[in-house]
Chains A and B, each alone.
Chain A
Amino acid sequence: DSGVTQTPKHLITATGQRVTLRCSPRSGDLSVYWYQQSLDQGLQFLIHYYNGEERAKGNILERFSAQQFPDLHSELNLSSLELGDSALYFCASSVGPSGAWGIQYFGAGTRLSVL
């Protein structure tokens, strides 16, 4: 058990809908990262937050947004969902923002199915 908690484990929804994925980092970790794993794109970095502040953005669609709250949990919001958004979404956390403090520990993922 990595100590990173993601809810829900599975999510089934329809095209055009909006969903929220939640992540609680390991105790003491200030950084939260979101990744998307799909068959065609592999594992792709989406966004990084450190202590509530956005630090880096990857290939995150404009329909997607994230935030990190004062209690350090994070939410990834996906809107106007399309079939191609079906994927496994991972959250990871680390102690610091980068470098020596940057080992990322991953949650079990949320599997999103858009029908």
Chain B
Amino acid sequence: AQKVTQAQTEISVVEKEDVTLDCVYETRDTTYYLFWYKQPPSGELVFLIRRNSFDEQNEISGRYSWNFQKSTSSFNFTITASQVVDSAVYFCALSPYAQGAQKLVFGQGTRLTINP
């Protein structure tokens, strides 16, 4: 069975601070995908990034960066110089590779509040 744990239920920081959201996953699959989604107050789920299990390179996109470490089964997300618009619930998700079928297993989410 697959499981995703986001131990931080809520995080509150002041604007311009850096913040890291933790994600730890469990799977027996050797091939899988990891994702981060953002859910702003408006409610929709916005795709941020996908990583496959063979690609452990860190990724940077503007103020966002992701650190994938297979050895610790973690896929952490860092926001640099946070802004109020980053306030949202962030979900980490795991997709086991299954031929012809796919589902996302989500963590419980981390509510991030950026205060001005």
Cβ–Cβ contact A58 & B44, under 8 A = no
* Interface SS majority for chain A: strand
Chain A interface (Cβ within 8 Å of chain B)? 2, 31, 33, 35, 42-45, 48, 50, 55-56, 58, 88, 90, 92, 94, 97-99, 102-109, 111
For the complex, count residues of B whose C-beta is within 8 A of A.
25
Question: Which residues of chain B from 95 to 115 have any CB-CB distance to chain A below 8 Å in the complex?
Answer: 95, 97-109
Give Cα distance in the complex from A48 to B99, angstroms. 13
B64 within 8 A of A: no
Find out whether the CB atom of B104 lies under 8 angstroms from the CB atom of A104: yes
Give chain A residues whose Cβ lies under 8 Å from the Cβ of B116.
Answer: none
Q: Which 3 A-B pairs have the closest CB atoms?
A: A56-B101, A106-B45, A55-B101
Given A99-B97, A102-B33, do A107 and B44 touch, yes or no (CB 8 Å)? yes
